[in-house]
Structure 1
Amino acid sequence: MTACAIETAAANGAVARTEFTITAGGSYAARLAGDGEALFAERWTLDGPEPYAVPLPLGQPEERDAEVLPLADGRVLIGRRVEQRHTFSLLYPTGPGTGELPLGSVESAELTLLPPSPDGVCAYALAPGATSTAIWLVAGGAFGPEHVAEVPGRCSGGVWLDRTGRMLALDRQLEGGPVKAVVVDLERGGEVTPLLQITEDSEDRLLLAAPDSGLILIRSNAPGHDRIGWGVLGSLRPVRFPECLRLADCAVKPFAVQPGQVLTPESCAVALRIDGAAGSRLGIWRPAGRRLHQLAAPQGWLAGAGLWSRECVLQLPYVTKSVPCGVARLDASALARPEVITEPAEVERAGGGPDGGAAPGTWKPVPLREAPLTGGTAAR
């Protein structure tokens, strides 16, 4: 899984922080570190008994808009903007210094790295154009950056749906229409199939997906305004919008799903970032539960970054002046224990009830009609 933390002001001993990205396997992470304009790439090792950070500075500081992404072999991909080009290199420690392997460049006015590929070897980027969006393989190819697919419409987001790096979900907008999540098959030339179509006019974005269980977290305005909902890949059950995830005056964003819960999506623990006037807090929730547990985040948390273990231990990276590389661990097995739900005053569904205005018979499921992850057509 991948999680990011956006730069915030230092407070209460915490240092300013920038985007933090974790490999899909959870072994490494990377961020831009440093003070002021003296920025450099930094790699974290997370799979040992204690986390540690390795600075990867070069001869000159990195620009603030540089993007970094860790690979499973410990190298760090860095993308830099140079006028209308985006250049890519691999950084790695070489004794006391930093080695750099240039990979090439992509000419595009706009380009962003996608979350780390599940295979840990490849890295991809999105380059939106006037009428379509290019998908580039920027690391892991044989001859530098390679154009692998062209998807009609303007695409954003990016969630991997499998363990191989083949099925990529993107949020796509066609000719000014609503945003809809679609699946792009990278092994079939970028073949596109629909993923979310809750109502015809709703904006339906995919936030997270758990390949083991099929659980997906979405954001949609199908209930009448933006809400966080959940569903299951390939299921005919409707997307549900839990009332407990609707918080007044707070922005709520899921950032990590517990892995390994094969065929039991309702049991997956989900970690959420909750931003309000008092700062960032941590939320723990399960689809099978009726409560959102709100907890104080550790001091210096790289807000919105973290990963679950299969045993329901949540690991949260943090940085303070006294601890430049730390991981707080929270055993959430008790907090995330499933609760019995009686159907369903506390659960709202897209297209039904007072917000959706449609009769229960018109509720629509997650329409994976081509079922790209199951190798066949879903039952209807």
Structure 2
Amino acid sequence: MTVCATEITTTTELPDPEAAEPAGVPEHPGAPAAPAAPAPVVPAPTAPAPAAPAAPAPVLAVSADGGYAARLAGEGEARYPERWTLGGPEPYAVPLPLSQPEEADSEVLALADGQVLIHRRVADRHEFSLLYPSGAASGPRTGEFRLGSVDAEDGLLVRLLPPSPDGGGAFALAVGAGESTVWQVAGGSGGPERVAVVPGRCSGGVWLDRTGRLLALDREVDGRTKAVAVDLGRGGVVSPLLQISEDSDDRLLLAAPDSGLLLIRSDAPGEPRLGWGVLGSERPVRFPDCLRLEDAHPFAVQPGQVLMPETCGVALRVGDGGLALWRPADRYVFRLGAPEGWLGSGLWTPDGRLCLPYATPGVPCGVVSLSQPAAPPPPVRVDPPPPPAPRPVPLQQAPLG
């Protein structure tokens, strides 16, 4: 695989992570653990269960700090990137069209500085560029800075990863037949830079810290899928992250670095179920009955809840355009109607407000804000009254015999 590069920037060194043991069996001691030293993967002796449905990609991709978002607007063969500004008093959108329309399979990602990263498949290459609005005497235009490209080998699947939490870079995952490569495509020392090679086919992609160093991937080896942690600051060192049981598929869906809350999908309970755990904790992974929702995918978790994972609000897409809110402490799921034109993504504020972007013909760029409802009180149990005490019977009235 070859790379073409044009941009040169710098990055900072990241601290070493703490280490811990991998997760244990559900409802027994052992929980999602902080990344540990690499360990061999034990092949499972039984056939894997059917894979859980993959989460649909959101139409609008929100930046790590929530200040910007980006999407491919338009329809059919007239698609163009569009940047949303969410950090001001009112949201507004800026179209970023170029001389040619974009393909429907192009990907866009909003960066913290307001630029939009775009990934295109062009002939035998995967190209990456930064787009930004550029004023000119003849009117607003779109500026483009080409970052470079990665060769499109046979069977290679390339997609953008979620934005880096530090806002300083962007990454892509290239999945081949026997290994997966993490590329830093923006914010590195040049163009696309290979930062990690992970044996096996990987999917997912969840950041475990605020520095953009620890990346969790769902790795498939010998027919089983386990979440692993990849340390991008140490040359891509891989360590186990989730292993609820040896013969289960354990995927990480979402993480809250401040609180350590992890949202997990695993078939360890006998079927694919949503569960939650705490990074580095000895508490078991839990699979609440209230999360037995058909086609449910968590997409946003409340930040800022330091060491309080039970209080984190979690938002889930349910079915075709449905919305649900949940907190581990409540053990109750609120099913809500999503706003008209909801674009499938959103973000929590630290004070517990969920912001959902939407677009309709009347409001092409809007955000609706929701609060986590209060959970209903537990049911009141009324004990039956005690039986009356037996009445003493005078001796002369007592039955004989």
Q: Same fold (TM over 0.5)?
A: yes
> 1:196 aligns to what?
242
The residue type paired with residue 219 of structure 2 is: R
Residues 5/56 of structure 1: CA separation in 2 closer, same or farther (3 Å cut): farther
| CA deviation profile, 1:259-289 (whole Å, cap 9, x unmatched) | 11110100111111111xxx42210111011
Matches within 5 A, 1:180-195: 180-195=226-241
Gaps of 5+ in 1: 8-17, 342-380
Q: How far does residue 339 in structure 1 lie from its aligned partner after superposition?
A: 6.5
Query: Is it true that 1:329 corresponds to 2:369 in the alignment?
Result: yes
Matches within 5 A, 1:248-259: 250-259=294-303
> 2:159 aligns to what?
112
Contact 2:83 2:94 in 1 (8 A): yes
Matches within 5 A, 1:98-109: 98-108=142-152, 109=156
Residues 177/298 of structure 1: CA separation in 2 closer, same or farther (3 Å cut): same
Indicate the SS of the match to 2:157. Answer: coil
Residues 261/340 of structure 1: CA separation in 2 closer, same or farther (3 Å cut): farther
Q: How far does residue 290 in structure 1 lie from its aligned partner after superposition?
A: 2.0
Q: How far does residue 149 in structure 1 lie from its aligned partner after superposition?
A: 1.1
Query: Is it true that 1:214 corresponds to 2:254 in the alignment?
Result: no
| CA deviation profile, 1:68-95 (whole Å, cap 9, x unmatched) | 0111110000010013310010000002
> 2:35 aligns to what?
none
Q: How far does residue 331 in structure 1 lie from its aligned partner after superposition?
A: 2.1
Q: How far does residue 246 in structure 1 lie from its aligned partner after superposition?
A: 0.5
The residue type paired with residue 116 of structure 1 is: P
Which whole-Å CA distance do the structure 2 matches of 1:34 and 1:207 have between them?
Answer: 29
Matches within 5 A, 1:154-303: 154-174=201-221, 176-247=222-293, 250-275=294-319, 279-303=320-344
Identity %: 66
> 1:143 aligns to what?
190
Which whole-Å CA distance do the structure 2 matches of 1:268 and 1:143 have between them?
Answer: 38
The residue type paired with residue 195 of structure 2 is: V
Q: How far does residue 142 in structure 1 lie from its aligned partner after superposition?
A: 2.4
Which whole-Å CA distance do the structure 1 matches of 2:176 and 2:82 have between them?
Answer: 31
Which whole-Å CA distance do the structure 1 matches of 2:206 and 2:268 have between them?
Answer: 21
Q: How far does residue 21 in structure 1 lie from its aligned partner after superposition?
A: 0.7
| CA deviation profile, 1:291-311 (whole Å, cap 9, x unmatched) | 1000111111112x0100111
Runs of 4+ that moved beyond 3 A:
4-7, 336-341
Contact 1:289 1:339 in 2 (8 A): no
Indicate the SS of the match to 1:168. Answer: strand
Q: Which has the larger radius of gyration?
A: 2
Which whole-Å CA distance do the structure 2 matches of 1:143 and 1:340 have between them?
Answer: 57
Higher relative contact order (CA 8 A, sep 6+): 2
> 1:346 aligns to what?
none
| CA deviation profile, 1:64-121 (whole Å, cap 9, x unmatched) | 0100011111000001001331001000000210000001100133211100001112
Which whole-Å CA distance do the structure 2 matches of 1:301 and 1:26 have between them?
Answer: 16
> 2:200 aligns to what?
153
Residues 256/80 of structure 1: CA separation in 2 closer, same or farther (3 Å cut): same
Indicate the SS of the match to 2:219. Answer: strand
Instruction: State the TM-score, normalized to the length of structure 1.
Output: 0.81
The residue type paired with residue 328 of structure 2 is: P
Instruction: State the TM-score, normalized to the length of structure 2.
Output: 0.77
Residues 105/50 of structure 1: CA separation in 2 closer, same or farther (3 Å cut): same
Contact 1:269 1:336 in 2 (8 A): no
Gaps of 5+ in 2: 1-53, 380-401
Contact 2:300 2:346 in 1 (8 A): yes
Q: How far does residue 19 in structure 1 lie from its aligned partner after superposition?
A: 2.4
- Structure with a larger share of its residues in strand: 1
Which whole-Å CA distance do the structure 2 matches of 1:142 and 1:254 have between them?
Answer: 34
> 1:80 aligns to what?
120
Which whole-Å CA distance do the structure 2 matches of 1:151 and 1:119 have between them?
Answer: 23
| CA deviation profile, 1:224-263 (whole Å, cap 9, x unmatched) | 000000000001111000101103xx31111111111110
Which whole-Å CA distance do the structure 1 matches of 2:238 and 2:56 have between them?
Answer: 31
> 1:129 aligns to what?
176
Which whole-Å CA distance do the structure 1 matches of 2:305 and 2:357 have between them?
Answer: 23
Count of residues paired in the alignment: 320
